[in-house]
Amino acid sequence: MLAAYERATAALAKAQNVLVLTGAGISAASDVPTFRDAQTGLWAKYRAEDLATPEAFARDPNLVWQWYQWRRQLVREAQPNAGHYALASLAQAKAVSLVTQNVDDLHQRGGSPDVIAVHGALFDNHCLNGHAYQAETDGLESPPECAQCGALVRPGVVWFGESLPEHALQRADSAVRMAELALVVGTSSLVWPAAGFAESAAARGIPVIEVNPQATPFSPQATYHVRGLAEQVLPALIGTALESPTT
Ligand code: APR
């Protein structure tokens, strides 16, 4: 009998329409800390969950703004890793819908052509009334004000307690419905509604491959749980699947 890893590779080789769901773990090897890692340096005394909220921004806009400026700088200095590149190569061979909870731009820089970013984008800004803000904010230590309405400008990411962007949500839902196989990479599967995409895919009965060094609340529903690091597992899994004669 084939081991789970070989069966996962064979299932990936066969599927033509693949849903990929990624979380912070895929960027860990690029030195972008995951959300549930303890923070380091200046920010060690804060928890990400306590800064990424509308309430935190209302209480102390400068503090939250500076945290995002720090994260922006960290991501600017980061490079995509082998996991990002492997997913880009998968998209050259198959119909891939890549749904990410990450707000970094490493999938895009790694060559993935079409990224559905359900938690927004770190480098976007809009004001508290929703007006887009295009001016440069690099180096600003406090949030600027909107030229249209004077409200404070904030990062264009989805905070705890906020709704997901409607368009991205619709695209993710349709990708879940169309997929023949799902690959769930580097997410703790703790944050809803994003965690629901993997659950819905599993409920459809398609094979679901989870790539994560740790077990998650989703693991019992995964068809195959490959316990390993995305930057190691994805190049091997995708490389072998794409070489397989069934592709
Ligand atoms: N390869 C694969 N998985 C990894 C790696 C790695 N190299 N390193 C860590 N992981 C796994 C961890 O085991 C964990 O399950 O990545 C997961 C990271 O979990 P979280 O930090 O909770 O990240 P994520 O699931 O993306 O968080 C969801 O929470 O704070 C919000 O909006 C934020 O999008 C974020 C959301």
pLDDT in tens, the chain (247 residues): 468 889 999 999 999 999 999 999 999 999 998 888 777 766 888 888 889 999 999 999 999 999 999 999 999 999 999 999 999 999 999 999 999 999 999 999 999 999 999 999 999 999 999 999 999 999 999 999 999 999 999 999 999 999 999 999 999 999 999 999 999 999 999 999 999 999 999 999 999 999 999 999 999 999 999 999 999 999 999 999 999 876 5
Phi, psi for 19 (deg, rounded to 5) = -95, 125
Ligand 1 atom, smallest distance to 188 CA:
15
Cα torsion 206, 243, 93, 90: sign: positive
CA distances from 151 to 61, 68, 144, 210 (A): 12, 18, 9, 42
The rounded Å distance from CA 30 to ligand 1 centre is: 13
pTM for the model: 0.96
In a mutational test of the pocket of ligand 1, which residue from 36, 234, 237 has the highest number of ligand atoms less than 8 Å from its CB?
A: 36
Residue 61's H or E segment, with its range, is helix 61-77
| Per-residue model confidence as pLDDT tens digits over 45-92 | 888 888 999 999 999 999 999 999 999 999 999 999 999 999 999 999
Please, where in the chain does CATH 3.30.1600.10 lie?
Answer: 33-77+125-157
The rounded Å distance from CA 24 to ligand 1 centre is: 4
Q: CB atoms < 10 A from the CB of 119, how many? A: 21
Please, where in the chain does CATH 3.40.50.1220 lie?
Answer: 2-31+80-119+164-243
What CATH number should be reported for the domain whose range is 2-31+80-119+164-243? 3.40.50.1220
pLDDT confidence of residue 91: 98
CATH class given for the domain over 33-77+125-157: alpha beta
